[in-house]
Each structure stands twice: as structure tokens, then as C-alpha cells.
Structure 1
Amino acid sequence: MTGDDTQVMLHQALQKHQAGDLTGAAPLYQQVLKASPQHPDALHLLGFLLHQAGKSAEGLKLVDAAIAIAPQQASFRGNRARILHHLGKHENADAAFRMALTLDPSDPIAVQDLAAARRANGLIVAAAPLFRHLLSLSPADPAALLAEATSRIDLGHHDAARTLLRKCLVTSPALIEATNSYAFLGITALTFDEARRWFRRTITAQPRYAAPYSGLAELYYLEGDIDACLNASEQAIALAPNDPQIQVRHSMRLLTAGHIKDGWRNFEWRLKRSDAVRRPGLPPRWQGEPLAGKRILVCAEEGVGDEILYASMIPDLLSANASVVIECAPRLLEVFQRSFPGCVVHAYTRSGDRFRPAHDYNWLPQDPPVNFAIAGGSLPALLRPDIASYEHQRPYISASPERVRDMEQKLAALPPGPRIGFAWRSKDVNPFRDLHYTRLQDWQSLLTEPGLQLVSMQYGSGWEQEISDARQEFGARLHVLEGVDMTNDFEDIFALAASVDCLICPSSTLAWVGGSLGKPVWKFGIDPIFLRLGTERFPGFPSLKGFLKLAGAPWKQVTNAVTAEARALRASL
């Protein structure tokens, strides 16, 4: 075969390859390589074809051979990166993409694929400059505008995202991902009617697209229309039955409506999300088998608040005569060891990041071995099928007596009046979560009410400046106890919660701290809350009292009601 014949056959193979005829292209590439075994283009293209045909590891060897012959070919490096990403070798893929861009910095496909790979792997901040660079290469390209807008949404920059999406929709008004994202931003901006119009516009353009139905379900949920919410949610599931995020949101909507058994069963979809904790080496999953004489591991959920919440069912396992092993966050180790003295309690070691976390279980006891394992959040599906199954639940966490005495001494030094633990937001904030939280300015009536000794139990970062600003702005009276770590030291957190007369907090970890102790908790937030399970209370947590509003209503009605309750507490003491 002459050199010209080789090029003709390579061109024929490439035409079939580009047309999707992998079966027809492969033998032509092989004939080229038979005649010219070191032909870099044929090695590269056949390697990528094998990857597309499901033989990625085999294809990678050929692409690597092509790169060894022609190391300056950016396209070879880019396709090597795509294969590595598919194989789960994300760090190597990132390096390969960067090499491709070093060779050809203006390749928009390589920029886009590297940015998308980083975003898929949870590297949101690292992906952001790539999306900006992509937009700089093609400033009028709707796909680039949409990608940058999505990146801005990831970062919580919703105003910038709205501007980018408007530009995108001017040139591509039928781009359904853009119309749906624009609708979603209407939810966080509390422009519900506008969000509804854009979701419906998306559905009109593409009736088989699940996302806008799920978006409408979220909108109806925040408006308190549970029937409409469930209807839209079921439509989303019919279109995307294997989407874990849609299924998890549906589980919460079912629980809100009081469909407890189905809701907790659906909640299992959270384990299939891409950011769920990977747990290699676990014993068989507990399916409800008799536990007498058996050993069961309760695996930690991802959030500390969830760990505390679902620990409420550990006494049920002990009552079934099981030997219980508890995995928990390191910050909860001493608290759980004291509260569940008959259990083995072990702090997990978490690798990865919050988007791809992983635990190892080399530490599991072997004598006797662990028979079953189950994630804490999966216990309700087996142990809490109805409201009646919550009625026997009692406080289950105990604070350190020594720490409680220390806290009581600190509180005794305050002026007369009820001691009230207070937090106004969660640690993590973003435009969607912020709908559920307040600012200190919303609490001016409470924070200036005489005779109330409000003690900050806020955690996270930035709260010191918020308190300082509120003191300057309107004379807020809020005590900060010296030497108390409300972010990392859960012995402090539980001890202070046990020492105050009551807690005021949003739907956050603190609510379950107080509830697990049996302390009065005035929990403010957005109605509905799925853990009320279709009732007007929090089943299993009788000390929790809700002060709720619809998302579009002002916080004043809630803060006024809580302030009135605090005045009544002051009068009763």
C-alpha cells in the first residue's frame, strides 16, 4: 500500500467514524496500521474509536502510542484526557487537558471539556476561570454564555447569572437549559410568577424535559400547595425515573404530605447521587432481619446534623437486642460514646471532598464480626413507617456533666432573665439556602427586648462581624460566651444547649442538638418542613415548636411571634 493509498483509506475510515459507523471504520484503521504500524493519526483515531465502543483501557494504549510518536498534537492529548476522565482517573485527566491547552490554548472544545470535567468532579472554583476563558473565546456563543451562567449559579452569583442568561436567551430563546435555569433563579429571587412563566415556557418548548417539572414542584412546595407540588414532581419522575436528585426531592414532598412509608423508601435514592459517600468493604445491608444476637454497623450520614437526627433510632436497635457499632464524625465521638455506652463508637476518616467523599472500613471489629450495615438515614424506612412509630422516642443524647457545670457558671454571671440560646442562620449560605435563614436585623424586636439574656450559639464564620454591626446599628443585646467554640467543639455545643432555658434557631444542626436533649427549641423557618410528616408538630421531638412562614412572606410575622413567646417565658420564670 502506497502512502497515497494509506491516506485515502484513512480518510474513508474517518468519514465512517464521523458518521457513527464504528464497525465499518475500525477495520479500515487496522488496514492502515498494518501497512504503517507507526501511523500516529491511525493509532489515535482507532484508540478513540475503541473508547467509544466501550474498550477504553485498550483504546488508551493506542492513544498513548500515538502521543509517543507525535507528542505535540493537542488533539491527541485532549482525547487522552477524555478517556482518562471516563476511566475515573480524574487527576491524570486534568493534567492531560492542561497539556492539550498548553499546545493549543485557543481550542474551545478542550477548554469546555476540562471545565465540565472539573465541575463534574466537584471542583467548582477551579472550573470557574475555564468557563470565563471559554466565554472570552466565543463571547456571543449561547453555549458559552449558558456554561458561564451555570458556573455563576454554582458559585452563588445569581445576579451575574441572570444577566448572562438574558444575553443567551436573546440569541437562543428556545435553549431549554437556559430557560429552565432562568426560571430557577426566579425562585431564589422570590419572583415566583416569573419563575412559573419560564418553567412553563420550557415545558412548551420541550414537553419531555424533566427539569422544569421538578422546578415547578419546588415552586409549588414553597407556595404551600402540596397537591400541585406532588403532581409536578410525579411528572418529573415519569420523565426521568433514574434521576437521584429528582427522586430525593420527591421523597421530601411525600413526607411533607404525610406519606411516611413511601417517603422514607424513596429517600434511599440519596445513596445513588454522585456526591454520596462511597463505602467500599461494608457488610451486607440490613433489610429488616431479626437482630437478636447480631452485630450491626450504623454508618454516618454526610452532615453532622443528620447524624444527630438519625441517632434517635439507635435505641430501637438496642431494644432489638442487637450489638451496635456506630460510625460518626470525629466531632461527635465523645458525645456518642457517652450517650450510647453499650455501643462501639468509631470516628470515620473521610477522604476526597464534599462532592466525592469516601470512607474506609478497615477498622471494623472482627470478633465477633459485623453482620449488617445500614446508613443512619436509611433507618426510618425500616423503623419509622408511620406516626405511631415515633411515639416511643425519648431524648437520647446526654451532655457532659462537667461541661454543663462550666456553662451554668458562665450563664450565672449574666443579668437576670431567661437564658436563651440563639442562632439566626446555618453555617453554609447560598442564595437558595438563604431563603430559610434570617439576618440579625430581622430580630431587632427580640434583641432589644429588656429582661431577655440572649446567648449567641451561631457557628461558622462571619458571625462576629454580624453581631458587631447589629450592636452598632440598633443596640442589639446578644451575649458571646468567652472560650466557647460553637463550630468545632460539640461537647461545648451540647453543654450550652443543655444549660439554657430554650433555643431559638433555624432548621439547622442546633435544632437536633436541642431536640436530642429534650430541651425546648423554637425552630423558625419556611413552611412546609418535611420532618413534620404531614402534622403540625415534629414527631419524635415533642420539645420542638415550629414558627413558620411561606417563602414569600416577610420574616416579621415569625420574629414577632418568637419575641412574644420569649416575653411569656420571661413572665413565667
Structure 2
Amino acid sequence: MAKPSVFQNLGALLREQGKIPEALSIYKLGLDVCPKDPGILANRANIYKDSKPATALFDIFDALKANPSLVNSWVTAIAILVDFDCKDYALHVAKQSLLAGCADTRLIIQILDLLGRCADRTSPILKTKLHLQILQSLQNVTATLPVTQRIDTLLAIAFHCADQGFSEQSTSFYHQALRLLPLQSDQLQLAERKKIQSLITSHSWNMACMLLKEEEFAQGWKLYDYGLRTPSKSPQQWQRALRKPFSIKQVPIWRGEPLEGKHLLVLEEQGIGDSMMFLTLLPTILSEAESVDLIVGERLEPIYRRVFTGQARVWTHHEFEDQTFNPATFAFQTALGSIPQYRFTTIDCYAPKVPLLTISPSHVSRLRQNYLDQVGAAASTKLIGVSWSGGGTKSRVKAKSMPVALFQELLKGANNTIFVSLQYGDVAQRVEAWKSQGIPIIHDPDIDALLDMDSWLQQVAACDAIVSVANTTIHGAGSLNIPTMCLLCEPSDWRWLRGSAIQRSYWYPSVGIARQSVSGDWQPAVDSTLQWINDDCPMPCGPYSNQPAIE
């Protein structure tokens, strides 16, 4: 009698050649000779899974009864059930696969994805009891994996737990992975140790962003420093690119030590928006340290030199290098984004000084009057600054940016309003097109945020309110404490927290949030923003945290 492997191999060969009917005939013959052989059934299921998924499931379950260690069959079964929207049954199958002891990274990652898909639709009991049972089973099966796969899997589970709000379990899985890190072990080659360290670094950065989104600030900010050595998909090399004038040996990194009587060097973050956001926290540090020197980019230097006059010395990188400072001048150095882990671990610590930025009232007044005169508007007319396009990687720019046609709908629906374009880049043609349709909008060719950010901030300050997608405009308007509505995509990044209950920014008290209901659907954000504009753009007063209010 022919062995089952003969039918399996011949059928697989015919499949590779595109001879599907012939392969099915071979599998049928094989099952006549070797009834319920799991290998033949699994191979036939691979043919049926796209065209006849229900038939494939019957073959898969028969195969798994005979051989529960067929990882690919478990993976295929769960995928089919998800496609059928039978997620509860898929959860049951996932649990059975783990009880069968299937330790495979592919299966585990798929189960984590399934748990994430089920999180918003299952009952509270299923989300807690069954969810946690599956997580425990996942933990058990990782014990048999090779160390690199085990670390990768534990970190993936930790990330999933953080994503679903299981902060205690997330921390536990994360530290289990760290304890497996054998950097000093002679049992692993250098390349393997580097691979493991890379896994730790990238997962820790992802964990940081997820924990911060869940308001788990104490742990999230500690892990945020992994961004300094996590590769980036954008042109910059790292997620947090840092330019340091002194090495760590020359000037120690600040680790939260008392700053009384100490001289501190503070370094900007890699992006304009991030630097502006973290600079809102600097007043707290200024109140502690003997002196602070702050290094920022050329676009920000004149702005923050004015803000911190008499409190901190503000330099560009070139200016600082020209001073030839002795490293011994400074007790510590720190990146702006590394400060929160030591002083800002609860949400009520944020926005210690509002507004932060200072402006020239006379300049702003002249600019405002000039805009009103251009369109012959009365002094009581609302001037609303607008920006509709975001920055970042190509995919994020598209996700964060408002489609022009939909943003046009927002502009047309506002009453007694003159709009001022704050959008950076070459937008003159777009603005003229809107003006030709009767939309009252101003483009000032004398102001370019990319060339002169200080003048651009004066333009922002000339407006009564701001409507913008999540870009640098939000940081400028928020730092000036101007009533602002942020049009926020879904999913948004960590700085906006999670959930529709969050109605304003914890970084900027004047910034409200109008969210997409689901990814790509801007209409609810447009509707709520229009209502806000026609209600005269009040300061936001909704929740800025998911935590219970402090009595």
C-alpha cells in the first residue's frame, strides 16, 4: 500500500504546476487508501480555503483530530473563521490550539491579532475571562520556543496587552522577555545577541507609544528613551534623532536627580512639533535648576529666546558650538523627550504654564487689521486660521490630511467667518481655487512658516481661533492658548490618548479634538467642527483624560 506521503507530495507538485483538478483527484485517491490521513486532508484544505472555505474547515478539523500539532492547519482555520466573521468560534479554536501545545510564533501572532479584533465586540466576560485564559495559554506555550522566538513572542504579547488596557499583564510579559536577554551568554553568537537586542529595542519603543496612549505614563515614559536607538522608516535614522554636543562621558545624562544648584543642558527633539510640545514642560525644570541652557533649531531659537529671557540661555547648535563650552560647566544633559519620566508621570502635571509663547501685540494687531481690510470685513468678524495637511511619512501624511473636497465643505458651512491659510508649503493655487468658489479665505505670501516661523506664529496669534489637522499648527496655537479644534485621524498617535471620551489635549488646554469615527471617515469631525465654529469657537471644556476626575 502506498504511503500517505506519496499522495501528499504528488498532490503538492500538481498544485505548484497549477493542475488543481488533478491534485484534487490525487488527494481523493489518497484518502480512499489512507482514510482521514491528516497530511492529505491538510493539503486538500489548502486548495479549498479560498474557493470553498467551509469545505476546507471540515478537512482541517478532521486533520487536527488526528494530528493536533499541525500548526498551519490551526492558522488556516482561524483565518477562515475570521473571514466568516465567526470570531467567537475563532477564539474557541485559538484556545484549543494552545491547549494542544502548538508553540509557533506565526500562530501566536495570529491569535493576538484575533484577540485585538474581538476586543470591541465581545462581552465583558469574554474579554476578561477568556481573553486572559488565552493569554495565559500563550505564555505557557512560549516556554518551548527558541530564545529569540520566545523573546519576540513575549514582547508581542506584552504589546497586545498594553493595546487592550491590560497594563499589569503587559508589564509582566515585558519583564519576562527582558529576563531572557542573555547578552553575556557564551551560548549565543554575536549576531544572535544583536538580533535579540534589536527585538527588545523595537518592541520597547512600540510599547512606550502604546502605554502612553493608555495613560500609563510611569512605564511609558521610561520606555520612550528606546526611541533614541530604534530605527525609523522616515528620512531620519532613529525614531528620536538626537544631536548631542557632548558625549555621555563628558556630560552625564540626567536621571531625575535633584536639580537645585545644578547647571542643566537641554537638547531639542528631532521634530519642530515634538520640540514645541515638550518645551511646554520646561517651566517646571526652570523652577528647580540653578541654570538651564537650551539648544534648539534655527527656526525655534528666536521664539524661545524671547519666551525664556532671564530664565534660560537659548542657542542654536552652531551658536552653542561657537561658544566652546567646557563640558564641566554642566552637571547633566537631557533630551526634552526624556524629561517626563522623572517629573511628569501623572496627567495633572502637564501644561504647567499657559500660554507659554509670547508675541508682539502691536504686530499681531496690525496683521489682523490688514486681513480684515483685505476683505472689507467688520472688526467683529471671526478670523479662523486653517491647515488641512499633515506631515510625517508618506502613509501618515495621507492618513492625517483632510481631503480637499471635504475641507472645502467645512469652509463653506461656516457663518460670519474669514479664514486665514496657515498651511505650510505652496498652497496659493489651492487658496485661489477656494476664493473663486466664494469662500472667504486669505493667503499671505509674505509669511512662510518654513522660512520664518516667528512671523508665522504672529499670524496664528492674529486669528480668533484655529482649525487644523494634527500638525505643527496645533503646537503653535496650543502654546499661544488660542481656541483650537484639532481634526484627528483614526488611529491617532500616542500624544492624543485613546477613545472618543477624550475631547481635548492634555498638553494644550485650548485644543479640542474632533475625531474620525473610524479610519478614513472625516464626516463626524467636519460636522462637530462646523458646530463649534458656528457656536463662536468656545474654549474646550471636555475630558482630557480617561482617568476618574480628582475630587
Report the TM-score when normalising by structure 1.
0.56
Contact 2:388–2:469 (CA under 8 A) maintained in structure 1: yes
- Sort the Cα spacing of 1:305 and 1:253 in 2 relative to 1 into closer, same or farther, 3 A: same
Q: Does residue 388 of structure 2 align to residue 420 of structure 1?
A: no
- Kindly indicate whether the alpha-carbon contact (under 8 Å) linking 2:448 and 2:456 is maintained by their aligned counterparts in 1: yes
| Structure 1 counterpart of 2:417, one-letter code | L
Give SS of 2:280's match: helix
Q: Which residue of 2 aligns with 1:257?
A: 214
C-alpha deviations, 1:178-221, integer Å up to 9, x for none?
A: x9xxx9xxxxxxx9x9xxxxxx99x9999426987898899899
1:557 aligns with 2:524: yes
Q: Quote the Cα distance in structure 1 between the aligned partners of 2:449 and 2:458.
A: 11
**Secondary structure of 1:247's match?**
helix
Is 1:404 equivalent to 2:399 in the alignment? no
1:299 aligns with 2:273: no
- The alignment status of 1:480 with 2:443, answered yes or no, reads yes
1:515 is matched with 478
Q: CA deviation at 1:513?
A: 0.9
Q: Which residue of 2 aligns with 1:272?
A: 229
- Measured in 2, the distance between the counterparts of 1:432 and 1:522 equals 20
* SS class of match (1:287): coil
Correspondent of 1:569 among 516, 536, 546: 536
Q: Distance in 1 between matches of 2:372 and 2:103?
A: 64
3-state DSSP of counterpart to 1:345: strand
> Which position in structure 1 is the counterpart of 2:398?
434
* Structure with the higher helix share, 1 or 2: 1
The SS at the match of 1:425 is coil
Question: What does residue range 112-127 of structure 1 map to in structure 2 within 5 Å?
Answer: none
- 8 A Cα contact 1:393 1:540, kept in partner: no
Deviation at 1:244, TM superposition (A): 3.2
User: In the alignment, which of 316, 320, 339 is matched to residue 307 of structure 2?
Assistant: 339
**d(CA) in 1 for partners of 2:433, 2:165:** 42
Aligned counterparts, 1:192-207, within 5 A:
207=104
1:241-263 superposed Cα distances (whole Å, 9 cap, x missing partner): 74433322221221222212111
Could you tell me whether the CA contact under 8 Å between 1:307 and 1:376 is conserved in 2? yes
Find 1:493's aligned residue among 444, 450, 456. Answer: 456
1:329 lines up with 2:297 in the alignment: yes
Aligned residue for 1:395? 355
- Which position in structure 1 is the counterpart of 2:409? 445
Distance in 1 separating the partners of 2:533 and 2:430: 22
Q: 1:510 to 1:267 in 2, by over 3 A?
A: same
Describe the SS at the equivalent of 1:399.
coil
User: Is this contact kept in 2: 1:298–1:375, CA < 8 A?
Assistant: yes
Q: Does 2:502 align with 1:502? A: no
Offset, 1:396: 1.4
| Structure 2 counterparts to residues 522-541 of structure 1, below 5 A | 522-527=485-490, 530-533=494-497, 535-541=502-508
Query: Aligned letter for 2:368?
Result: E
Q: Determine if the alignment matches structure 1 residue 386 to structure 2 residue 340.
A: no
- Specify the alignment match of 2:154 in structure 1: none
What amino acid maps onto 2:273 in structure 1?
A: G
1:455 to 420, 445, 461: 420
Runs in 1 of length 4+ with deviation above 4 angstroms?
203-206, 209-223, 225-241, 360-364, 468-472, 532-536
CA distance in 2, matches of 1:218, 1:568: 38
Give yes or no for contact 1:211–1:236 (8 Å, CA) kept in 2.
no
> What 5-or-longer segments of structure 2 have no aligned partner?
1-49, 51-71, 86-92, 122-126, 128-160, 178-195, 232-236, 540-551
Q: How many residues align?
A: 378
User: Could you tell me whether the CA contact under 8 Å between 1:213 and 1:236 is conserved in 2?
Assistant: no
> How many angstroms apart in 1 are the aligned matches of 2:405 and 2:120?
23
Partner of 1:281: 247
User: Alpha-carbon deviation of 1:227?
Assistant: 6.5
Deviation string for 1:347-396 (max 9, x for gaps)? 1259xxxxxxxxx9675633970111110011111111112322644221
Give the corresponding residue for 2:331: 371
1:376 maps to a residue whose letter is L
Written as runs of structure 1 = structure 2, the 5 A alignment for 1:136-175 is none
Q: Which amino acid in the other structure matches residue 543 of structure 1? A: S
Deviation digits for residues 269-318 of structure 1, max 9, x if unmatched? Answer: 10112423353535111111111221111111000011110111211111
CA distance in 1, matches of 2:112, 2:325: 43
Which structure 1 segments of 5+ residues have no match? 1-169, 171-175, 184-190, 194-199, 351-359
Q: Which letter does structure 2 place at the counterpart of 1:557?
A: P
Structure 1 residue 426: Cα displacement: 1.5
Q: Which amino acid aligns with 1:378?
A: S
Q: Does 2:512 match 1:548?
A: no
Identical-pair percentage: 19
Cα pair distance change 1:252/1:428, threshold 3 Å: closer
Q: Secondary structure at the match of 2:355?
A: coil
Shift of 1:505: 0.9
Distance 1:298 1:214, change over 3 A: farther
Q: Distance in 1 between matches of 2:326 and 2:404?
A: 51
Amino acid aligned to 2:395: P
CA contact (8 A) 1:441 1:470 kept: no
- Is the 1:435–1:551 Cα contact (8 Å) retained in structure 2? no
Distance 1:218 1:483 in 2: 49
Amino acid at match of 2:247: G
Question: Does the 8 A contact of 1:425 with 1:437 survive in 2?
Answer: yes
CA-CA distance at 1:410 after TM superposition = 2.3
Determine the structure 1 residue equivalent to 2:105. Answer: 208
What CA distance in whole angstroms lies between the structure 2 residues aligned with 1:214 and 1:349? 48
What is the distance in 1 between the residues matched to 2:255 and 2:394? 37
Displacement of 1:435: 1.7
Q: Distance in 2 between matches of 1:571 and 1:260?
A: 29
Alpha-carbon distance in structure 1 between the residues aligned to 2:116 and 2:358? 37
Secondary structure of 2:300's partner? helix
**1:328 Cα offset (Å):** 0.4
Q: Verify the 8 A CA contact 2:367 2:462 in the aligned structure 1.
A: yes
Q: 2 CA distance for matches of 1:490 and 1:370?
A: 30
2-structure distance, mates of 1:301, 1:211? 33
